[in-house]
Structure 1
């Protein structure tokens, strides 16, 4: 009996992971990618001797990558290596406070107490709460589909339902964080985790305070070879399992028969049959571009949901090394509420944005020429709804440089030897992410987790979805979990 055939649209990390899982199950798998390279948002480029990871730069929960090698009967270390960070991130506040977020919990709590005066017990109590939310939600919200009856018949789910009040879904992250800490710097510190899925801490439910547990408990890591080595190692694994990748192969249509069953795809007007079709494309574009002749089947309410925030990134080659900086660095805004109001209410950029600065050459020296650094300089911005981005970018660049000049005591503008810029328009065009949103829909409501698109189409048989715009959400770990859910569903 011939193997069943699975066609995957998009070679983002979720699409690659789905391909690996289905190949292990015996499927014949082909992946079609519009770009000339795999990875989606997780890509790389070089410019004038500097190498940049173009997208996600924080690597947590590496066990989900390792699991793919283990499933295939391989030793993960033969393909992919990484090292744990002693300092997850370094934080800079406008009042000159500098804070090292140590991976070791005791060391971290002591650092917080020394720099802010918050009791060590307060920090540990907060992290205990974060761990508790994780224990309740992990097996239900993250590792299972919320759209299958059997999920709700599991004993883990039943126990989690009884513990539902403990996940703190009915107040905002900010309100919850104010309840844990007196020092405004610590409230801001934990409010920032809303940006990990493109949301607003003043609106998103306190359930998202689960995120610090993923970083503090499981740690943060640097992959040898940089972030893009995650993609190259997984593609190598997929190829070894017989997965075929087709690059520069933009899918035109998901083909349905008269009974609304997905029967394959069309690429350059050529029909390719399949038993199952999986879209790693943003669900908005999956419907509006690939199923445009079947609007009666659209999940209209889901597709109309508020999108997550986007990003404005300056990739700078810097002709100096800054020894006070780490791999991950945050320069906080003096007025966090005003910054989020600009993003979510005014749909523009605050003049004092919080800056995230990633420097992979701290751990991979050949990412920059000698005595230089490669700066991935990012701020959170609204999704693209037609703003004058050229004007916003010019002003934001000036404000970012002015802020860094002040906090680092150096004229950064004189050190930039090369520059590339990525804004929401480019994110949308390069990665088919509607409005340039990084994480699909936002999580700015109590029940956002239940409102994300399911990993299976409700009205189209044999059509599945994986990636950041679908359940359980965006970011590398959740995208990998979406691949697991799809694979389990396909069976």
Structure 2
């Protein structure tokens, strides 16, 4: 008899889990409270502008391609992307700019020319990032940290001898100040802490693993936009026979004698041999698992930062802007202090502008651009968000005007806002945190929920709030780690 798996949530990890379990021979049903797949990785239309709603950076495309290959399909027939020659354009108010070329040596030359930073410092730092990746990714990204077999395999034993070189005992900022002479370059590399909602002045230097993904491997863009990651995998799942049930909110995970036996949706009971939770771990325990033993220590961990996003249709083309753009704060340390300690928004925020119409012109009318304009903000702890958002909008516009020497307000044709409260309500992310628990200490990797329940048999977990973490590649890897635990 075919075994049945129920997946709660059609986020990108839930879709990937469905595909992997289908390949293993399971009958798979995915229950999703919204009327669309993808979770944060969705899209919307605003007037004549199309926007990718959520994650805007695409790395490790092989994690997407692998899902097609295990289904016996050629990824290129279903999903196309291009490698970015420039990963990001950086701007400071004093007029300094840096184009972060994907070619290491071209990037090093750019930094030496623009900032006077010796090119060998860039090369050395990116080699160190590669070193961290080679030693830690097999341990932290591709295996469960909650199984003894992870810690006793040969790769792990080799890594134990190199812990001092992997940045575990230092902060990201301290490591970057040691690597670079110019404060602007320290700031540029400190930015990678925000990729999982952390503070570079607190998070361990092991997070200097992240630049390796952008520079040594590469950053990419799906030809049809980021949402095509969701759509291509959703179509693949449908072709494989996965059943999606939208606007079907799971009320409870059913547990009998310590074994997950299915879910309750409304008044209906749906039985299953295994249940996979793709919902935010914290909110899952507060709602659909509220009758079960609570992992109190994990639930009480500080949460990552959130985001305030203004989706703007801009009636002008800015030739100096690319797909990814950063307008840096003049006081980075104070900005993070406001986010993580004061729980408010700094009046000189670092502004990220993502413009997909640079690579996908039909996302905006001719002569226009679709700006996904984002700043990092604290997670929702009951702040007066209406006042904070009004003030932040003014400060963001002032920052853009000062840095790009423009007057952006009259150019805004359409506007939509996403903020911590709506992030939580739409995606069930606890406190609107984008990446689950914070990574602001050296033990953070161990303070994420496992990909399985240690208390409830046949209950598994995937997604950005559990191991190995947030972001598209790690969400896809969470599905892989989870599925490898199942017979």
**TM-score bin (small chain):** over 0.9
Pair 1:469-2:469 in alignment: no
Summarize deviations over 1:400-444 as a string: whole Å, max 9, x none: 001111111211000001100000000000000000000000100
Give me the whole-angstrom Cα distance separating, in 2, the residues matched to 1:323 and 1:461: 56
User: What is the DSSP-based 3-state SS (H/G/I as helix, E as strand, rest coil) of the residue aligned with 1:217?
Assistant: helix
Deviation at 1:287, TM superposition (A): 0.7
Give me the whole-angstrom Cα distance separating, in 2, the residues matched to 1:269 and 1:469: 28
Pair 1:144-2:140 in alignment: no
Give me the whole-angstrom Cα distance separating, in 2, the residues matched to 1:421 and 1:17: 29
Residue 272 of structure 1 is matched in structure 2 by: 270
Give me the whole-angstrom Cα distance separating, in 2, the residues matched to 1:408 and 1:121: 30
Match of 1:324 among 299, 320, 323: 320
Residue 386 of structure 1 is matched in structure 2 by: 382
Give me the whole-angstrom Cα distance separating, in 2, the residues matched to 1:277 and 1:166: 40
Residue 101 of structure 1 is matched in structure 2 by: 100
Pair 1:22-2:14 in alignment: no
Match of 2:372 among 369, 376, 383: 376
Pair 1:299-2:298 in alignment: no
Q: Which ranges of structure 2 fall in alignment gaps of 5 or more residues?
A: none
Give me the whole-angstrom Cα distance separating, in 1, the residues matched to 2:306 and 2:112: 33
Pair 1:483-2:479 in alignment: yes
User: What is the DSSP-based 3-state SS (H/G/I as helix, E as strand, rest coil) of the residue aligned with 2:225?
Assistant: coil
Give me the whole-angstrom Cα distance separating, in 1, the residues matched to 2:49 and 2:156: 48
Match of 2:417 among 421, 443, 450: 421
Give me the whole-angstrom Cα distance separating, in 2, the residues matched to 1:151 and 1:206: 22
Worse-matched range after superposition: 158-167 or 300-309? 158-167
Give me the whole-angstrom Cα distance separating, in 2, the residues matched to 1:446 and 1:437: 19
**8 A contact 2:86–2:102 mirrored in 1:** yes
User: What is the DSSP-based 3-state SS (H/G/I as helix, E as strand, rest coil) of the residue aligned with 2:170?
Assistant: coil
Give me the whole-angstrom Cα distance separating, in 1, the residues matched to 2:29 and 2:109: 51
**8 A contact 1:61–1:214 mirrored in 2:** yes
Deviation at 1:347, TM superposition (A): 0.1
Aligned pairs (5 A) from 1:294-373:
294=292, 297-373=293-369
Aligned pairs (5 A) from 1:53-132:
53-132=52-131
Give me the whole-angstrom Cα distance separating, in 2, the residues matched to 1:16 and 1:160: 32
Root-mean-square deviation (CA, aligned residues, Å) is 0.7
Give me the whole-angstrom Cα distance separating, in 2, the residues matched to 1:195 and 1:153: 32
Give me the whole-angstrom Cα distance separating, in 2, the residues matched to 1:200 and 1:166: 21
Give me the whole-angstrom Cα distance separating, in 2, the residues matched to 1:414 and 1:407: 17
Residue 206 of structure 2 is matched in structure 1 by: 207
Residue 13 of structure 1 is matched in structure 2 by: 12
Give me the whole-angstrom Cα distance separating, in 1, the residues matched to 2:451 and 2:262: 18
Q: Calculate the TM-score normalised by the size of structure 1.
A: 0.98
Give me the whole-angstrom Cα distance separating, in 1, the residues matched to 2:366 and 2:45: 15
Give me the whole-angstrom Cα distance separating, in 1, the residues matched to 2:51 and 2:163: 42
Give me the whole-angstrom Cα distance separating, in 2, the residues matched to 1:372 and 1:189: 28
Spell out structure 1 runs of 4+ moving beyond 3 A.
Answer: none
Residue 254 of structure 1 is matched in structure 2 by: 253
Give me the whole-angstrom Cα distance separating, in 1, the residues matched to 2:101 and 2:434: 27
Deviation at 1:93, TM superposition (A): 1.1
Give me the whole-angstrom Cα distance separating, in 2, the residues matched to 1:235 and 1:168: 38
Give me the whole-angstrom Cα distance separating, in 2, the residues matched to 1:3 and 1:357: 48
Count of residues in correspondence between the two structures = 487
Aligned pairs (5 A) from 1:394-433:
394-433=390-429
Deviation at 1:152, TM superposition (A): 1.9
Deviation at 1:162, TM superposition (A): 2.1
Give me the whole-angstrom Cα distance separating, in 2, the residues matched to 1:299 and 1:292: 11
Residue 281 of structure 1 is matched in structure 2 by: 279
**8 A contact 2:93–2:402 mirrored in 1:** no
**8 A contact 1:252–1:269 mirrored in 2:** no
Residue 190 of structure 1 is matched in structure 2 by: 189
Pair 1:155-2:154 in alignment: yes
Summarize deviations over 1:427-467 as a string: whole Å, max 9, x none: 00000000000000010001111111111111111111100
Summarize deviations over 1:332-389 as a string: whole Å, max 9, x none: 0000000000001100000000000000000111101111110000000000000000
Deviation at 1:218, TM superposition (A): 1.2
Aligned pairs (5 A) from 1:219-258:
219-257=218-256
Give me the whole-angstrom Cα distance separating, in 1, the residues matched to 2:405 and 2:115: 23
Deviation at 1:153, TM superposition (A): 2.5
**8 A contact 1:457–1:464 mirrored in 2:** yes
User: What is the DSSP-based 3-state SS (H/G/I as helix, E as strand, rest coil) of the residue aligned with 2:483?
Assistant: helix
